[in-house]
Amino acid sequence: IMLVALHIIIVGTNSSNAASYQALVRHSMGPRAEKVVAVLMVVYLFGAITGYFIVIGDMIPPLFALIPNCPAFLLDKPAELQHSILDRPGRTIVMGVLSTAVCFPLCLLKKISALSYSSGAAIVAIAYMVIRVVVKSVTQMVTDADAVAHAANASAAALVGRPPTVLVRPSPSI
């Protein structure tokens, strides 16, 4: 579906000589549709960046616990002691610093081509995470399968006359 949609956009851009997506929408659907599409793009991008901040806010603070003598205000309280967002200061600090020090300056660039290096770094980071998740999942599945097989064989040996049963279950850590 994405490939067909991109093909339609390219064909429409070539036939209308539009220099941007906004110009293509204005040419094909009129100025009102151009404004609606602009608002929808802002809402979509706001939702995407909010999702990214939530993921980063959940992933980075546990790394603070690995730092020796890390200030206590950077560490989140255990889940059972959390009653509000204020109980997660590490997450709030990470999201605030990230948005102020990294995202805001990137929003001020005059040309989008200046984002080519950070986009390349993001692709490398995503590829790294995909590889790590796959390796961790396969390793965990093998470990779980071995543990289940060992337990099944041990209990089968205790039962005379019954063959050993091996159960393999995918790990929830996938």
- Give 62-120 pLDDT, tens digit per residue: 777 788 887 766 666 665 555 665 556 777 777 788 788 888 888 888 888 888 888 88
pLDDT at 31: 92
Q: For 92, list phi and psi in degrees, rounded to 5.
A: -65, -40
Q: Which of 65, 59, 151, 133 is nearest to 98 (CA)?
A: 59
**The predicted structure's pLDDT at residue 128:** 93
pLDDT at 41 over 80: yes
pLDDT for the residue numbered 33: 93
pLDDT of residue 127: 93
pLDDT > 70: what percent of the chain?
A: 74
User: 155 versus 28: which is more confidently predicted?
Assistant: 28
What pLDDT, on the 0 to 100 scale, is given for residue 114? 85
Contact between residue 45 and residue 65 where contact means Cβ atoms under 8 Å apart: no
**Residue 150 identity:** H
CA distance 124 to 128: 6
Evaluate if residue 50 carries a pLDDT over 70.
yes
The whole-chain average pLDDT of the chain stands at 79
153 neighbors 166 (Cβ within 8 angstroms): yes
How many whole angstroms separate alpha carbon 27 and alpha carbon 16? 7
Mean pLDDT of 155-172: 55
Mean pLDDT of 117-141: 88
Q: What is the DSSP letter of 51?
A: H
pTM: 0.53
Residue 161 to residue 106: CA distance in whole angstroms: 70
pLDDT at 80: 59
Which uninterrupted H or E stretch holds 14? helix 2-16
3 state SS of 77:
coil
* 153: CB partners within 8 A, 6+ apart: 164, 166
